């Protein structure tokens, strides 16, 4: 990816008079979209700094009304600037920006069409991806799975960026806010970017926990029953709703 010319003036949807060879696509950026973009870039950078993503191998999106802002394809997150806002409508038509949206757009859009998600995070986090190659469902190693809706399923493998992968993912995501993608990575959603991010971090941590516990020779980890998981889920639903 060639270095882009940056406009130091910040977000401007209309580039009249700007010495920028790129033509704006679609309409101008609204203030709430500029704000959401800033949060999206911060979240994308966090996936790298926290070790959940190497290079540009993940992607993040956030919904602002009927527009979905997404990380562009192949641009390192530390190079993303305020005027790189990239957005599509729910049918995938680009309405903001000139950079090409992530190749995993079909997965992101499938989540927004099927759920009340406000944000989606996809990574290739190493422990989660390792687990996706071993089992069809993350064993109930910890009650925090209840915070994701229950035992985390693994979506069967399909080529990245395809509608088939998006479909497999949606099935695995039924009644859950997280799933694994076989031989690929993670997908989580939440009402906010922070919630979607935290769910990814929790999922990666649980996968690491299971791999660690499972790797002791001659022993296998105790797992929680469905009843234990359901009871934890009840408690978690009350958590954080005080006041």
Q: Which long-range contacts (CB under 8 A, 24 or more apart) does 221-227 make?
A: 221/139, 221/141, 223/139, 223/140, 223/141, 224/140, 224/141, 224/142, 224/143, 225/140, 226/140
Helix, strand, coil content of the chain in percent (nearest 5): 40, 15, 45
Nearest to 138 by CA among 195, 192, 178, 98: 178
Q: Is the dihedral of CA 170, 173, 175, 177 positive or negative?
A: negative
Catalytic residue among 16, 38, 104, 164: 104
**One-letter-per-residue 3-state SS of 127-168:** HHHHHHCCCCECCCCCHHHHHHCCCCEEECCCCCCCHHHHHH
Helix, strand, or coil (residue 195) = helix
Q: Which residues contact 55 (CB under 8 A, 6 or more apart)?
A: 48, 76
Q: Is 33 part of the annotated catalytic residue set? A: no
Give 216's DSSP letter.
S
Q: Which residues are catalytic?
A: 104
């Amino acid at each position: 990816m060639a270095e882009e010319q940056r406009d130091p003036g910040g977000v401007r949807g209309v580039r009249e008079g700007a010495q920028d060879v790129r033509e704006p696509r679609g309409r101008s950026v609204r203030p709430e979209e500029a704000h959401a973009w800033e949060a999206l870039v911060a979240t994308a950078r966090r996936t790298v700094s926290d070790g959940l993503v190497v290079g540009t191998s993940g992607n993040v999106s956030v919904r602002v009304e009927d527009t979905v802002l997404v990380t562009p394809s192949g641009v390192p997150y530390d190079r993303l600037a305020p005027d790189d806002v990239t957005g599509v409508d729910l049918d995938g038509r680009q309405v903001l920006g000139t950079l090409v949206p992530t190749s995993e757009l079909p997965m992101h859009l499938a989540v927004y069409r099927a759920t009340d998600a406000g944000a989606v995070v996809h990574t290739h986090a190493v422990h989660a991806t390792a687990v996706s190659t071993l089992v069809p469902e993350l064993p109930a190693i910890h009650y925090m799975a209840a915070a994701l809706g229950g035992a985390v399923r693994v979506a069967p493998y399909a080529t990245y960026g395809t509608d088939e992968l998006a479909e497999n993912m949606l099935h695995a995501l039924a009644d859950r806010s997280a799933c694994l993608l076989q031989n690929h990575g993670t997908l989580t959603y939440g009402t906010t970017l922070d919630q979607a991010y935290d769910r990814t971090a929790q999922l990666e941590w649980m996968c690491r926990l299971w791999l660690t516990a499972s790797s002791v020779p001659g022993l296998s980890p105790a797992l929680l029953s469905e009843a234990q998981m359901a009871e934890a889920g009840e408690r978690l639903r009350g958590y954080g709703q005080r006041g």
